[in-house]
């Protein structure tokens, strides 16, 4: 595989202890201490009221991330190709469906079933953003961020168009949480462009190669990054926040190195 490159024009971030990229960047620079706090998911105002009431955590999270990155890049959401990647599904809906199926009546709610599918957030993005550009959805367990980035860069390289990568995870309730513990709803979004512009923040390149493990330089944020696949991006974002170049490994089934060079 040759080197896949792109320019990073926008970032979205949301998780425990940070509501957006501005807050996360300040914590990654050490300007403000990171303290664990429950993730606050905003209501998806871009959805019609009926859909807004029905959607669960993955949809609210993915839409907030995507719109933040697109706004930062000044991009038209209707024309953005998208890649959604998550290590699991909608835990709340899965728990509710499993509970219902364990009851004698087994009366599954059609709405819960509809919202339980893995591409649910992508479908709601199409409604909220009026997006009709190509959209891919994938899951690769703990390698989900790396595989999502690889897919986004491959699509960008092939079609020479902007691609919005949205990586997110939401926790499971009840017994499932003991099998797949996740800290809270969390994720990042990266708006990738094939050409450098005045909005470009950094150049990103991915190659099949060995590289050292990445670090944010802050023990508590390194631990947070290891607690959820979507937050494996934190070492990369720490370099971006501090205006530093970095080359580090991505967690993936193959040796995968990612480089970030700030645009100055």
Q: Write the CATH number for 137.
A: 3.40.47.10
pLDDT tens per residue across span 115-140: 888 899 999 999 999 999 999 999 99
Contact between 260 and 246 under an 8 Å Cβ cutoff? The reply is yes
With pLDDT > 90 as the criterion, what percentage of the chain qualifies? 88
Whether 118 maps to a domain, the answer reads: yes
pLDDT confidence of 1, banded at 50, 70, 90? low
Whether 100 maps to a domain, the answer reads: yes
Burial class for 192, CB neighbours closer than 10 Å (0-12, 13-18, 19+): buried
Whether 216 maps to a domain, the answer reads: no
Whether 6 maps to a domain, the answer reads: no
DSSP 143-174: GHHHHHHHHHHHHHHHH-S-EEEEEEE-PPPH
Cα–Cα distances (Å) from 166 to 76, 152, 210, in that order, read 16, 10, 25
Longest Cα–Cα distance in the chain = 63
Whether 139 maps to a domain, the answer reads: yes
pLDDT tens per residue across span 150-166: 999 999 999 999 999 99
260: alpha, beta or left? (left if phi > 0; alpha if psi -120 to 50):
beta
Q: Which residues contact 102 (CB under 8 A, 6 or more apart)?
A: none
On the question of pLDDT at 248 being above 90, the answer is: yes
Whether 83 maps to a domain, the answer reads: yes
Domain residue limits at 148: 11-198
Q: Is the pTM of this model over 0.85?
A: yes
Quote the pLDDT of residue 110.
87
What SS3 class is residue 7? strand
**How far apart (Å, rounded) are the C-alpha atoms in residues 167 and 175?**
24
On the question of pLDDT at 15 being above 70, the answer is: yes
Whether 234 maps to a domain, the answer reads: no
Number of domains in the chain: 1
pLDDT tens per residue across span 91-117: 999 899 999 999 998 988 888 888 888
Whether 92 maps to a domain, the answer reads: yes
């Amino acid at each position: 595989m040759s080197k896949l490159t792109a320019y990073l024009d926008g970032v979205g971030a949301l998780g425990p202890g940070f509501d957006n990229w501005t807050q996360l960047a300040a914590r990654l620079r050490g300007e403000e201490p990171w303290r664990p706090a429950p993730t606050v998911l905003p209501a998806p105002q871009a959805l019609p009221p009926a859909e807004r009431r029905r959607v669960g955590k993955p949809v609210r999270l993915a839409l907030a991330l995507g719109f933040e990155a697109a706004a930062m890049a000044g991009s038209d959401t209707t024309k953005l190709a998208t890649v959604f990647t998550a290590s699991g599904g909608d835990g709340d809906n899965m728990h509710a469906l499993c509970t219902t199926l364990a009851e004698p009546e087994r009366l599954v709610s059609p709405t819960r079933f509809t919202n339980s599918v893995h591409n649910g957030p992508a479908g709601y993005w199409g409604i909220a953003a009026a997006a009709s550009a190509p959209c891919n959805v994938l899951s690769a367990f703990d390698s989900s961020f790396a595989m999502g980035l690889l897919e986004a860069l491959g699509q960008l390289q092939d079609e020479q168009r902007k691609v919005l990568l949205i990586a997110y995870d939401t926790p499971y309730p009840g017994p499932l949480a003991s099998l797949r513990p996740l800290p809270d709803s969390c994720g990042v979004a990266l708006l990738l462009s094939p050409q450098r512009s005045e909005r470009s923040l950094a150049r990103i390149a991915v190659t099949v190669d060995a590289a050292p493990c990445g670090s944010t330089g802050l023990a508590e944020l390194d631990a947070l990054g290891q607690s959820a696949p979507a937050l494996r991006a934190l070492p990369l974002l720490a370099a971006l926040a501090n205006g530093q170049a970095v080359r580090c490994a991505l967690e993936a089934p193959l040796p995968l190195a990612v480089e970030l060079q700030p645009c100055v």
